[in-house]
Chain A
């Protein structure tokens, strides 16, 4: 039996479900940030630079932060 207690491995336990939701959120944020970064390369213009700096980078950083917090909280407590 899995440690989380659920019998069917395809059915996530509530805790795992929460982790997966957060990973989904992190993935969405990082992907959105990377898309903004890619789009900002279409123009050589100060606004494109600012879009990269003020939208693209913060979205990626936020996504990474969500992911790191998620795995930090998901790790089992030390014995």
Chain B
């Protein structure tokens, strides 16, 4: 945990102590200073602490560790360490082309106005399936929608290596089609090896040097 989170936790703990003090010594509110304390400790400060906590929790819900904490995601986590550059997620993860601690979220959110909210709602659905539904086999897990180039282009658009890549310009209009999502980066067959969890048993894995 980083320093702002520790400070937030310390603040929440302090507010909890203050509210507990009021819970045990409510007669403090007979005097004006006690009433001010009550207003702060039972309204203003808990709202601040809860808002900060909510914000921190939402941040943690975007972390790779959070996504991989469910058993069904184990193979998807392992696929990030496959020693084969044709595995697009592994290549991005191992070369830090995506933030390592937010790897899943970086590619699986949608870069739209309500994309982060949509991702959280889908996450809630995942939790429902995990604890109350029928958990599918990892190899049977599919995206809700076809992967949109927009998510790739969030980083790649305008990038020299992407724009000048001969394969992206081998036909007239191909680049425009990629940018418009008319030709998919993934399903067109160019970058179609993703997590491929059903074949992980045949893969070799990269071990980072300590």
Please provide the chain A residues from 4 to 37 with a CB less than 8 Å away from any CB of chain B in the complex. 9, 12, 16, 19-21, 23-28, 30-31, 33-35, 37
Interface size on A, residues (CB 8 A): 38
| Complex Cα–Cα for A67 and B41 (A) | 10
Across-interface contacts of A56 in B (CB, < 8 A): 50, 53
Check: B187 CB closer than 8 A to any chain A CB.
Answer: no
Contact-residue size bin, chain B (C-beta under 8 Å from the other chain): 35 or more
Chain B positions within 8 Å of A21 at CB level? 26
Query: Which of B5, B50, B56, B66 is within 8 Å of A60, CB to CB?
Result: B50
Nearest A residue (CB) for B130: A46
CB distance from A32 to the nearest CB of B (A): 9
From 3 to 28 in chain B, residues with beta carbon under 8 angstroms from any chain A beta carbon are 5, 9, 12-13, 15-16, 19-24, 26-27
Q: How far is it, in angstroms, between the C-alpha of A19 and the C-alpha of B34 when the chains are bound? A: 13
Task: Tell me whether B26 and A23 are in contact (CB under 8 A).
Answer: yes
Check B22–A23 contact: CB distance below 8 A: yes
Task: Determine if A31 and B20 form an interchain contact, defined as CB atoms under 8 angstroms apart.
Answer: yes
The answer for the CA separation of A40 and B49 in the assembled complex, in Å, is 14
Asked if residues B19 and A63 are in contact (CB atoms below 8 Å), the reply is yes
A66 (CB) vs chain B CBs: closest residue: B42
Can you offer 19 A-B residue contacts whose CB atoms are under 8 A?
A: A12-B30, A21-B26, A23-B23, A23-B26, A26-B23, A27-B19, A28-B20, A31-B23, A33-B50, A41-B1, A41-B57, A45-B66, A46-B66, A46-B127, A49-B57, A50-B127, A56-B50, A63-B19, A63-B46
Q: A residues touching B (Cβ–Cβ < 8 Å)?
A: 9, 12, 16, 19-21, 23-28, 30-31, 33-35, 37-38, 40-41, 44-47, 49-50, 52-53, 56-57, 60-61, 63-64, 67-68, 71
